[in-house]
Amino acid sequence: MVEDVGKYAIIGMVAIVAVVGLVVLGTGANAGGVTGAYISETPIITGALYKTHTPANAPVQIGALTIEGTDAPIRGIVDIRNAVTKVIVGSAKAKNDGTFKAMFMVSDTIPGAKPGVPCTVQAGMTDGDIWGPVLEVTGADPETCEGLP
């Protein structure tokens, strides 16, 4: 009986050390100031779509830039920027699985909207100047988008 207790105690201690080791190795403070496990150090945009529409009784078109991505620090703040001009378009807050999604209104005539549609975008964190790969914006007009590659 004493032999069995000792065997199970050793197995239990090994399991605890393994779990504590995983927790210690996978934690850190991210750009949003939240402590949590990192999915990656470089957020990646997996989709960038620009669409326009004209609301009923509106004199101007409204454009929406939708960004989706992955590999962001858990609950961290991800900046989205024009990949060529380096102008920040906006920010998104990552979920617990490191994914993020944001939509930005784009118009040169509507107050509060982001001016100019970027041709290409990238995600990253201005703290530490960490930026992911460049992705072309689907739906952006190559004749008028900002920051031709």
pLDDT digit string, tens, across residues 127-142: 888 999 999 999 999 9
Higher pLDDT, 143 or 24: 143
Find the mean pLDDT for residues 62-70.
94
Per the CB < 8 A criterion, the answer to whether 76 and 31 are in contact is: yes
Alpha carbons 141 and 7: distance in angstroms, whole number: 68
Strands 120-125 and 135-136, by their bridges, are antiparallel
pLDDT digit string, tens, across residues 93-123: 999 999 999 999 887 667 777 878 999 999 9
Residue 4 binned pLDDT confidence (cut-offs 50, 70, 90): low
Alpha carbons 85 and 146: distance in angstroms, whole number: 8
